[in-house]
Amino acid sequence: MKNKLTALAMLFLITSGLVLITSNVNAQKGNFGVRFMPTFTSFNVRGADGNTVKGNVTLGFGAGIVIGRNFNKNVGLNLEVLYSSITQKFAEVNGNRKVRLNYVNIPILLSLNTGIYKRLNFNVTVGPQIGLSVGSNMVTTSNDGSNVSQAVLSIKKGDFGFAYGAGIDFSLNEENTLKLSLGYRGVYGLVDISNDNKTVTTGSYYLLDRTHLVTNSGYIGFTALF
């Protein structure tokens, strides 16, 4: 199932990229932008006793670029490349852990607008997102100086999810070609990112078990039409 989802996502990415590049000369203007995305996330992990430990909602961050093609004033397609750092804190009986997951996320989003060339534009976006893991780490602290059970953080190299959101664009010039963009973005992970192929020693256990990432972000950025 995972391989099929990945293959479909790659096909969608390639097809969408070709659409962006080869759109005929009669198409409407394109757009390019930068975004900063504070990100809130929460996911559960497995404790040393085998039970589920619920994490606290914590703040991470994301930033990246957006490039797109506006087929007309109401419909467009955006390709984004975003770096996201997701953090999660949780407590066990004798200690605390902080997990950080770093991803490069690539969403391809259908954009529906009330009027992309107007001074005020409302939009909704939806589409698939591929995530590429670019590093992860875990920091463990003890509450009383005793040894904290040995957990192993092991994740898959890729993720695939469903992205959706809404936003508003404010024009910053008379030509309505420079926009201040504000909005919300949610991503629901469709793939279990936990990886149990790594060898663990006696007394150790996998921290992640059947874990799906679910994130909620706000964003602020600038978009230029061209």
Q: What is the pLDDT of residue 56?
A: 75
| Pairwise CA distance, residues 97 & 107, whole Å | 30
CATH 3.20.20.60 is right for the domain spanning 2-19+29-225: no
CA distances from 19 to 14, 74, 159, 174, 216 (A): 9, 17, 24, 30, 28
Output the pLDDT for position 13. Answer: 55
- Residues 10, 130: Cα–Cα separation, whole Å: 8
Per the CB < 8 A criterion, the answer to whether 102 and 62 are in contact is no
Model pLDDT for residues 35-75, shown as the tens digit of each residue = 999 998 877 777 666 677 777 778 899 999 999 999 999 99
Mean pLDDT, contiguous 10-residue spans, the chain (226 residues): 50 53 53 95 74 79 95 95 90 78 97 96 98 91 66 89 98 95 96 80 73 93 94
